[in-house]
Amino acid sequence: MKHERMASAHPRRSALRRMALACTAFAAPSLWAAAPTVPKEAPSTRIPVEVWKDPNCGCCQDWVVHMEQNGFAVTVHDTGNSAVRARLGIPARLGSCHTALVEGYALEGHVPAADVHKLLKQKPKALGIAVPGMPVGSPGMDGPEYGGRKDPYEVLLITKNLMNSDVSTRTFTSYR
């Protein structure tokens, strides 16, 4: 008797399954069309950087573009950089043509964006990092007018001396 009931129930189950599949096939496109669209994933948050530079400096502007292309939202102050460099505690001997501030760290000169990301990841106890002078081949000093030339340079980590008001430096990254 049990077998008879199962045998007779089986065709009903199959018919129910077919009906459910048919309803799903017809209803699904309508449901998908009516469903609210899911917004695309927002672009990653860009890291804010403030830059002080001379308004006529082309290599500074090229460095700004380099930073923007590497995940930074740059605010530019075309007011020169000597006063802000002094305010941030960066000595003139480490100076360059622009000074920046990112998450409390000073950036002096043509620092590669990769080193800024490294600084922000490591979070050392430091004033910031610097590329003194204007070495050819560093970001902003690497345009076609330099003919592909790449001079060696170092990115320096700047730390405050505890014994006096001067700063110390050590190599953060070396480019050879």
Listed by start position, the domains of the chain span: 1-38, 48-175
In this predicted structure, what is the pLDDT of residue 74?
99
pTM value is 0.74
In angstroms, how far is CA 33 from the centroid of its own chain? 36
| Residues in a beta bridge with 51 | 76, 100
In this predicted structure, what is the pLDDT of residue 11?
52
Interatomic CA distance for residues 107 and 132, integer angstroms:
10
Three-state secondary-structure class, residue 24: helix
Q: Give the torsion through C-alpha atoms of 90, 94, 99, 101, to 10 deg.
A: -50
In this predicted structure, what is the pLDDT of residue 107?
99
36-40, 48-52, 99-103, 123-127: least confident range: 36-40
- Mean of all residue pLDDT scores within the chain: 84
Q: How many CB atoms within 10 Å of residue 139?
A: 22
Structure letter (DSSP) for residue 80? -
Strands 105-109 and 98-102: antiparallel
Reading the block at residue 37, the tokens are: 């669209």
Structure letter (DSSP) for residue 38? P
**Fold category of 48-175 in CATH:** Glutaredoxin (3.40.30)
| pLDDT tens for each residue of 108-166 | 999 999 999 999 999 999 999 999 999 999 999 999 999 999 999 999 999 998 776 78
Structure letter (DSSP) for residue 39? P
Reading the block at residue 172, the tokens are: 């953060």
